[in-house]
Structure 1
Amino acid sequence: MKRFGLHRALDTLGWWEVLFSRGPSRLLAFNSLVDAAGTGLALVCLPFYAIRVAHLSASELGIVLSAGGLCELIAAVPNGAAASRFGVRRFIVATKVLQACAFAGLAFATGVVPMLVLAALAGASRAGSGGLGQSLAVAVLGEQERATILGCVRALRNIGYLLSAGLGSCLLAIGGSTPLRLALLVNAASFLLGALWIGRLRLLRAGVLPERTDWSVLHDVEYLGLIACAAVFGSSLVVLTVGLPLWVMRYPQIPSWTTGCVVLVNTALVVVFQVRFSRRLDTVDRAVRAIWRSALAFAAMAGLLALTAHAPALLAVALIGIAALTLTMGELLESPSWWTLSMLLAPANRRNEYLAAFDLCWALVGIFGSALMTVVVSAGPAGWLCYGAALLAAAAAGRLLASRRAARFGGASVTEATQTSVSVPS
């Protein structure tokens, strides 16, 4: 009876059953888990490798990481165009192989120039991968299963990052250059394994590849506006990694261990609930409403953190605990909402270009998020209040842009209005 109850509990997670099913869903799920574990391991160990083994200074490491982020920003739209031109599945396989080569090279590189070139290659190959992954999911599973599998992917990626954090800590504890090189080589192997799994996927139907490269997304002001709004929401990720740690150091009455607890709570709740939220937010109307609720949750989180500035230790811990819950609620709502809006408000016959371009929001967060979060913390409680106001403004702008864009097609999504021209390249 206990075993049966455990199985029922695991099935409610949404992603557990996918891992043990047959077909493309399991391949996509394992790809996300292994990719996140390898990437997380590299993120933990790369700075130590660059400084201790490759002999880079701290400023040179910053330049190398910035180069990767800049290349990711520049290459997002071209990558989407290339995916449409040559096929999204083939393109993803090719970029995974390139990323494997880049990290295998990083494991033996020394000096700033080789590290800079390889980081640029990794960033350019990674550009647009999130959006193209969504396009691939639709190509192999269909529109009906898109929301569920994307929820599974996000939950499993969180598990992968947890696993990589533990393994990375062990490798760092061992010390020496060999464990650090091994971490980068494991990440390279994860990309090769992912390329093998993606290559095995079969498309629902063959499609006609476009005859020319299309750059229309760069002139689509409404869609670019949605990307900017999504970037504001995406900054919530930097709250956990940069904002809260800096805030705790600024106000020493707040115990430092609260930052680790918030990360654990956030990760656990995403793993448990993300699939459920994703299934519900599968239309434009539902996504638009959820964006506003997400902004309210983020604004509440910002207000609670502002109150901790001069609160006694016990009260500050309680406020941060509630803030962690509201932050997670906002993330559970905003992620599937932006997935849905990015997909359904993109022309179906140019889906790859548009979804790859939507990944610009994450590139913007990677380049500017940490610096802006530093400004928020430096401004004290007023900084958090301004941050909450910015999220509410982004939600209002996003709702307006999404509603106007959908209304121009008679209440249908852009995808539905252009369904007759859909092509699903291999």
Structure 2
Amino acid sequence: MTNRPTRYRSALHHRIPGGRDGRRMLLVALIDKIGTGLWAASTALYFTYVTGLGIAQIGILVGVAGGIGIAGAPLAGRLADRFPVTRILIAAQLLRAAALLALLTTDDYILLVLYSALGAVPDRATNVLTKLYAARAAGPERVRYQAINRTVANVGWAIGGLAAAAALSAATSTVYQLLLVGNALSYAVMAGLTFTCAEPPAPSRVVAKSAPASAAAGNTPEATEATEASPPSPWRDRTFLAFTATETALFLDDTILQVAMPLWIVHATDAPVGLAPLLLVLNSVLVVLFQVPLSRFGATTSAARRLLIPLACLFVAGTLALAASAADGRWTAVTALVVGAVALTFAEMVHATASWELSVALAPDDAQGAYLGVHGLAGSTQRCVGPLLLTAVIATGPLAWPLLGAGLAASCAVQYRLVRAKAAERSLSVPTVTVSEH
């Protein structure tokens, strides 16, 4: 009886990769998405009713901020190879809060665009930094940790969205401002929690610190020169750049589900408009239920590579279902849309699992941050280009969906071949990473 509490605590400790700090960072992710859910649901309304912007002005503001925000991913990755990732995360969180609160101080359009852009850079940076923290802290269990993190994030989004929906029933300027302040406060709380987390080992900084010691030990000039050489650059790695390009295409699942599907329902099908938010709820529920169980199928690099085959099939099935939803009849449309949403949601989860493992495995240890920063450009670029591409698909009509599915399947095939080539070059060995429990 006396040993049972100890065994229970031990099991609880190992349930979340990364130990105590891993659990704290999951709490940070939950708070992040709750706050973001509060603000995301009211952003357009805030700019419309509080600052008095028109639809075209809001569109330009969002587009400019998104374009400038693309720089956040590679910048964060480069910094994380030189400085503690937790400290950069804290700075990013505080900058997000400051940029958001700055919106309360002005109605000037130029300043609103500037503050929104300043907030978009650390926002995109945070995505890369949290992934890098997981790679360093969770080590071989990084895929499972990222799956848990994504599940927690979806729960946070749901909580924030529901809270915003309840608050927006009042529909006053004060409510919009309070939602903005609530999101800013969530960033401050996140910074405080991140400050309590231990810094995980960073291979790039370990290599850098070992250079003087090697020279002092009297190593040969050749060895000293190799140690002091600059780390590899992802911008000169053609294979990794091609991998990132295919990732930009595969990240389209996000925009299909959140942007294209609601527009498609309204403009091309007989399905009721109210189905659109229900499909997004279905997406969140499926992610919460299945993202963690699916992560075990991508726990190694070879397993993650094999996932690209079912991923291609899911993309084809989902886009064919969307094409079929344009047929006459309400129930035919509803059935096809549900099938498409389920297939594309599983594509989203399978791609997330494969992407987490492959992007880290393809990155050299001494330039992990820089490589993951470049990989982060895939998601950021897709957010800018994806809506334009998919609105063109919708305008073209049902036949465009199978063509898109074929293109996504081809991207999977290209990526499958790229990873095999890299495996032959580097054997895709993944070092075990330990994390301090202090």
Q: Same-fold call, TM > 0.5?
A: yes
Q: Give yes or no for the alignment of 1:38 onto 2:6.
A: no
1:167 is matched with which residue? 163
2:249 is matched with which residue? 232
Q: Give yes or no for the alignment of 1:133 onto 2:149.
A: no
Tell me: CA distance 1:204–1:242, structure 2 relative to 1, closer, same or farther (3 Å): closer
Q: Give yes or no for the alignment of 1:345 onto 2:362.
A: yes
1:50 is matched with which residue? 47
SS of the residue corresponding to residue 287 of structure 2 reads: helix
Give 1:204 shift: 4.5
Give 1:297 shift: 0.5
Opposite residue 156 of structure 1, the aligned amino acid is V
CA distance in 1, matches of 2:200, 2:107: 45
Q: Give yes or no for the alignment of 1:69 onto 2:86.
A: no
Q: Give yes or no for the alignment of 1:179 onto 2:175.
A: yes
1:113 is matched with which residue? 110
1:264 is matched with which residue? 281
2:424 is matched with which residue? 407
Q: Which runs of 5+ in 2 are unaligned?
A: 1-11, 209-227
CA distance in 2, matches of 1:190, 1:350: 31
CA distance in 2, matches of 1:100, 1:209: 34
Opposite residue 123 of structure 1, the aligned amino acid is A
Write out per-residue CA displacement over residues 235-276 of structure 1, whole angstroms, 9 at most, x where no aligned residue: 111112221111111235222222222212111010011111
1:197 aligned residue (176, 193, 197): 193
1:358 is matched with which residue? 375
CA distance in 2, matches of 1:340, 1:214: 21
2:299 is matched with which residue? 282
CA distance in 1, matches of 2:423, 2:127: 23
Identity %: 26
CA distance in 2, matches of 1:146, 1:29: 13
Q: Give yes or no for the alignment of 1:208 onto 2:206.
A: yes
Q: Does 232-241 or 202-211 show the bigger shift?
A: 202-211
Write out per-residue CA displacement over residues 369-404 of structure 1, whole angstroms, 9 at most, x where no aligned residue: 111110111111111011101110110111111111
2:413 aligned residue (368, 385, 396): 396
1:156 aligned residue (148, 152, 170): 152
Give 1:127 shift: 2.8
Count of residue pairs brought into register by the alignment: 404
Give 1:23 shift: 0.8
Whether the 8 Å contact between 1:128 and 1:358 is mirrored in structure 2 is no
Tell me: CA distance 1:101–1:214, structure 2 relative to 1, closer, same or farther (3 Å): farther
SS of the residue corresponding to residue 107 of structure 1 reads: helix
Whether the 8 Å contact between 2:319 and 2:402 is mirrored in structure 1 is yes
Whether the 8 Å contact between 1:135 and 1:352 is mirrored in structure 2 is yes
Which protein has the larger Cα radius of gyration, Structure 1 or Structure 2? 2
Whether the 8 Å contact between 1:308 and 1:315 is mirrored in structure 2 is yes
Opposite residue 297 of structure 2, the aligned amino acid is R
Whether the 8 Å contact between 1:40 and 1:160 is mirrored in structure 2 is yes
SS of the residue corresponding to residue 173 of structure 1 reads: coil
2:81 is matched with which residue? 84
Q: Does 295-304 or 53-62 show the bigger shift?
A: 53-62
1:98 is matched with which residue? 95
Whether the 8 Å contact between 1:108 and 1:181 is mirrored in structure 2 is no
SS of the residue corresponding to residue 81 of structure 2 reads: helix
**RMSD over equivalenced CA pairs, Å:** 2.6
SS of the residue corresponding to residue 421 of structure 2 reads: helix
Tell me: CA distance 1:36–1:320, structure 2 relative to 1, closer, same or farther (3 Å): same
2:328 is matched with which residue? 311
Q: Does 124-133 or 349-358 show the bigger shift?
A: 124-133
CA distance in 2, matches of 1:57, 1:212: 53
Give 1:67 shift: 2.1
Give 1:193 shift: 1.2
CA distance in 1, matches of 2:269, 2:75: 47
CA distance in 2, matches of 1:279, 1:201: 26
Write out per-residue CA displacement over residues 309-328 of structure 1, whole angstroms, 9 at most, x where no aligned residue: 12311122112222222112
Give 1:287 shift: 1.0
SS of the residue corresponding to residue 174 of structure 1 reads: coil
Whether the 8 Å contact between 1:85 and 1:209 is mirrored in structure 2 is no
Tell me: CA distance 1:171–1:108, structure 2 relative to 1, closer, same or farther (3 Å): farther
SS of the residue corresponding to residue 86 of structure 1 reads: coil
